[in-house]
Amino acid sequence: MSDAVEKATVRAEPGQQVQECIEQEGPVGDRSGLSRPVPRCSPPVSGDAEGDITVVEFFDYQCGYCKLALKTMEDLLETDANVRVVWKEFPILGPVSRVAAQAAMAADRQGLYLPFHLALMREAELTEEKIFELAGKTGLDVERLQRDMGHPEMGNYLDETRAPAQELGIGGTPAFVVGGRLVPGAVDSAGMKDLVARARAAKG
Protein backbone atom coordinates (compact mmCIF):
# COMPACT_ATOMS: atom_id res chain seq x y z
CA MET A 1 0.00 0.00 0.00
CA SER A 2 1.25 3.49 -0.82
CA ASP A 3 2.34 5.97 1.85
CA ALA A 4 -0.58 8.18 0.82
CA VAL A 5 -3.08 5.47 1.67
CA GLU A 6 -1.37 4.58 4.96
CA LYS A 7 -1.68 8.22 6.03
CA ALA A 8 -5.32 8.47 4.97
CA THR A 9 -6.92 7.63 8.32
CA VAL A 10 -9.51 10.25 9.19
CA ARG A 11 -12.33 10.62 11.66
CA ALA A 12 -16.06 10.64 11.20
CA GLU A 13 -17.50 14.12 11.61
CA PRO A 14 -20.56 14.72 13.78
CA GLY A 15 -23.77 13.79 12.07
CA GLN A 16 -22.21 11.42 9.53
CA GLN A 17 -23.80 7.98 9.47
CA VAL A 18 -22.43 4.64 8.39
CA GLN A 19 -25.49 2.34 8.22
CA GLU A 20 -27.97 3.43 10.94
CA CYS A 21 -26.72 1.45 13.92
CA ILE A 22 -22.99 1.49 13.20
CA GLU A 23 -21.99 5.03 14.20
CA GLN A 24 -23.97 6.94 16.77
CA GLU A 25 -21.60 9.28 18.58
CA GLY A 26 -20.31 12.78 17.95
CA PRO A 27 -16.86 14.26 17.38
CA VAL A 28 -13.72 12.83 18.83
CA GLY A 29 -12.36 16.02 20.35
CA ASP A 30 -8.84 16.34 21.72
CA ARG A 31 -6.80 13.16 21.31
CA SER A 32 -3.63 14.53 22.91
CA GLY A 33 -4.25 12.73 26.18
CA LEU A 34 -6.87 11.05 28.30
CA SER A 35 -8.15 14.09 30.16
CA ARG A 36 -11.48 13.42 28.48
CA PRO A 37 -12.89 9.94 27.82
CA VAL A 38 -12.56 8.13 24.52
CA PRO A 39 -15.93 8.40 22.74
CA ARG A 40 -17.95 5.20 22.96
CA CYS A 41 -18.53 4.93 19.21
CA SER A 42 -15.84 6.56 17.16
CA PRO A 43 -14.44 3.97 14.77
CA PRO A 44 -11.41 4.91 12.69
CA VAL A 45 -12.14 5.83 9.09
CA SER A 46 -9.86 5.64 6.04
CA GLY A 47 -10.20 6.99 2.54
CA ASP A 48 -12.53 9.89 1.74
CA ALA A 49 -14.32 11.05 4.89
CA GLU A 50 -17.16 12.27 2.68
CA GLY A 51 -17.04 9.41 0.19
CA ASP A 52 -20.18 8.54 -1.72
CA ILE A 53 -20.07 4.88 -0.63
CA THR A 54 -19.24 3.60 2.85
CA VAL A 55 -17.69 0.17 3.36
CA VAL A 56 -17.66 -1.07 6.96
CA GLU A 57 -15.54 -4.04 7.98
CA PHE A 58 -16.07 -5.99 11.20
CA PHE A 59 -12.87 -7.95 11.85
CA ASP A 60 -10.68 -9.78 14.34
CA TYR A 61 -6.90 -9.52 14.21
CA GLN A 62 -6.52 -13.29 14.70
CA CYS A 63 -9.00 -14.19 11.97
CA GLY A 64 -7.29 -15.90 9.04
CA TYR A 65 -10.02 -14.89 6.62
CA CYS A 66 -9.71 -11.27 7.78
CA LYS A 67 -6.01 -11.42 6.97
CA LEU A 68 -6.86 -12.74 3.51
CA ALA A 69 -9.33 -9.87 3.06
CA LEU A 70 -6.63 -7.30 3.86
CA LYS A 71 -5.50 -7.15 0.23
CA THR A 72 -9.10 -6.48 -0.79
CA MET A 73 -9.28 -3.45 1.48
CA GLU A 74 -5.83 -2.22 0.44
CA ASP A 75 -6.79 -2.48 -3.22
CA LEU A 76 -10.06 -0.68 -2.59
CA LEU A 77 -8.33 2.26 -0.89
CA GLU A 78 -5.67 2.37 -3.62
CA THR A 79 -8.08 2.36 -6.56
CA ASP A 80 -11.22 4.15 -5.38
CA ALA A 81 -10.72 7.74 -4.25
CA ASN A 82 -14.40 8.20 -3.37
CA VAL A 83 -14.90 5.33 -0.95
CA ARG A 84 -15.09 5.67 2.82
CA VAL A 85 -13.86 2.69 4.86
CA VAL A 86 -14.94 2.30 8.48
CA TRP A 87 -12.97 -0.13 10.63
CA LYS A 88 -14.96 -1.93 13.35
CA GLU A 89 -12.89 -3.88 15.84
CA PHE A 90 -14.80 -7.08 16.65
CA PRO A 91 -12.51 -9.23 18.84
CA ILE A 92 -14.27 -12.58 19.18
CA LEU A 93 -11.37 -15.05 18.99
CA GLY A 94 -9.98 -14.84 22.49
CA PRO A 95 -8.01 -12.60 24.87
CA VAL A 96 -5.18 -11.82 22.43
CA SER A 97 -7.73 -10.58 19.90
CA ARG A 98 -9.08 -8.15 22.47
CA VAL A 99 -5.60 -6.93 23.40
CA ALA A 100 -4.86 -6.32 19.72
CA ALA A 101 -8.12 -4.42 19.27
CA GLN A 102 -7.48 -2.25 22.33
CA ALA A 103 -3.95 -1.56 21.12
CA ALA A 104 -5.23 -0.56 17.67
CA MET A 105 -7.79 1.84 19.12
CA ALA A 106 -5.12 3.31 21.39
CA ALA A 107 -2.85 3.69 18.36
CA ASP A 108 -5.54 5.83 16.79
CA ARG A 109 -4.99 8.36 19.54
CA GLN A 110 -1.43 8.73 18.28
CA GLY A 111 -2.58 9.12 14.69
CA LEU A 112 -1.15 5.77 13.58
CA TYR A 113 -4.20 3.54 13.43
CA LEU A 114 -3.93 2.39 9.82
CA PRO A 115 -0.19 1.60 9.75
CA PHE A 116 -0.58 -0.39 12.98
CA HIS A 117 -3.75 -2.10 11.70
CA LEU A 118 -1.83 -3.22 8.62
CA ALA A 119 1.10 -4.45 10.72
CA LEU A 120 -1.20 -6.51 12.94
CA MET A 121 -3.06 -7.98 9.99
CA ARG A 122 0.14 -8.93 8.19
CA GLU A 123 1.44 -10.88 11.19
CA ALA A 124 0.62 -14.59 10.86
CA GLU A 125 0.31 -15.24 14.61
CA LEU A 126 -0.14 -12.68 17.35
CA THR A 127 0.89 -12.73 21.01
CA GLU A 128 0.76 -9.85 23.48
CA GLU A 129 4.54 -9.52 23.20
CA LYS A 130 4.34 -9.41 19.39
CA ILE A 131 1.59 -6.76 19.50
CA PHE A 132 3.78 -4.36 21.47
CA GLU A 133 6.82 -5.22 19.38
CA LEU A 134 4.87 -4.26 16.25
CA ALA A 135 3.67 -1.10 17.97
CA GLY A 136 7.25 0.00 18.55
CA LYS A 137 8.22 -0.81 14.97
CA THR A 138 5.25 1.23 13.73
CA GLY A 139 6.56 4.27 15.57
CA LEU A 140 4.10 4.27 18.44
CA ASP A 141 4.95 5.41 21.96
CA VAL A 142 4.42 1.99 23.56
CA GLU A 143 4.21 3.27 27.15
CA ARG A 144 1.50 5.75 26.18
CA LEU A 145 -0.23 3.06 24.13
CA GLN A 146 -0.40 0.77 27.16
CA ARG A 147 -1.73 3.57 29.36
CA ASP A 148 -4.43 4.44 26.84
CA MET A 149 -5.38 0.79 26.46
CA GLY A 150 -6.16 0.65 30.18
CA HIS A 151 -8.75 3.43 30.04
CA PRO A 152 -12.23 2.00 30.86
CA GLU A 153 -13.82 3.69 27.85
CA MET A 154 -11.53 1.72 25.54
CA GLY A 155 -13.02 -1.53 26.77
CA ASN A 156 -16.50 -0.06 26.73
CA TYR A 157 -16.10 0.87 23.07
CA LEU A 158 -15.23 -2.71 22.14
CA ASP A 159 -18.11 -4.09 24.17
CA GLU A 160 -20.53 -1.71 22.48
CA THR A 161 -19.40 -2.88 19.03
CA ARG A 162 -21.24 -6.11 19.74
CA ALA A 163 -24.62 -4.35 19.75
CA PRO A 164 -24.60 -3.19 16.11
CA ALA A 165 -23.03 -6.50 15.10
CA GLN A 166 -25.90 -8.37 16.72
CA GLU A 167 -28.46 -6.04 15.16
CA LEU A 168 -26.96 -6.74 11.76
CA GLY A 169 -26.86 -10.47 12.39
CA ILE A 170 -23.05 -10.68 12.34
CA GLY A 171 -21.76 -13.77 14.11
CA GLY A 172 -18.29 -14.13 12.61
CA THR A 173 -15.49 -12.30 10.88
CA PRO A 174 -14.91 -10.79 8.48
CA ALA A 175 -18.23 -9.16 7.72
CA PHE A 176 -18.80 -6.13 5.53
CA VAL A 177 -21.55 -3.61 5.12
CA VAL A 178 -21.33 -2.07 1.66
CA GLY A 179 -23.69 0.79 0.97
CA GLY A 180 -26.14 -0.64 3.49
CA ARG A 181 -25.89 -4.26 2.30
CA LEU A 182 -24.54 -6.90 4.69
CA VAL A 183 -21.91 -9.16 3.11
CA PRO A 184 -20.66 -11.91 5.46
CA GLY A 185 -17.33 -13.60 4.85
CA ALA A 186 -14.18 -12.73 2.94
CA VAL A 187 -14.55 -10.91 -0.38
CA ASP A 188 -11.86 -10.69 -3.08
CA SER A 189 -10.89 -7.42 -4.76
CA ALA A 190 -13.03 -7.94 -7.84
CA GLY A 191 -16.03 -8.86 -5.71
CA MET A 192 -15.62 -5.79 -3.51
CA LYS A 193 -15.32 -3.46 -6.49
CA ASP A 194 -18.49 -5.00 -7.92
CA LEU A 195 -20.33 -4.49 -4.62
CA VAL A 196 -19.26 -0.85 -4.49
CA ALA A 197 -20.27 -0.32 -8.12
CA ARG A 198 -23.70 -1.83 -7.43
CA ALA A 199 -24.11 0.40 -4.37
CA ARG A 200 -23.30 3.46 -6.48
CA ALA A 201 -25.71 2.40 -9.17
CA ALA A 202 -28.46 1.92 -6.60
CA LYS A 203 -27.94 5.50 -5.42
CA GLY A 204 -28.52 6.74 -8.95
Q: pLDDT tens digits for 85-125?
A: 999 999 999 999 999 999 999 999 999 999 999 999 999 99
Residue 202, pLDDT above cutoff 50? yes
Is residue 60 within 8 Å of residue 90, measured between CB atoms?
A: yes
pTM: 0.80
pLDDT at residue number 116: 98
Among 142, 106, 117, 98, CA closest to 33: 106
Distances (CA, A) of 101 to 11, 157, 182, 200: 17, 10, 22, 31
Q: Which residues of 91-120 are buried (b: 16+ CB within 10 A; e: fewer)?
A: bbbeebbbbbbbbbbbbbbbebbbbbbbbb
* φ, ψ at 96 (rounded to 5°): -65, -35
User: Which region, left, alpha or beta, applies to residue 111 given φ > 0 means left and ψ of -120 to 50 means alpha?
Assistant: left
Is residue 126 within 8 Å of residue 94, measured between CB atoms?
A: no
Domains defined for the chain, CATH in brackets: 3-9+40-203 (3.40.30.10)
Q: pLDDT tens digits for 122-173?
A: 999 999 999 999 999 999 999 999 999 998 888 888 888 888 888 888 989 9
pLDDT at residue number 163: 84
**Stretch (H or E) spanning 87:** strand 83-89
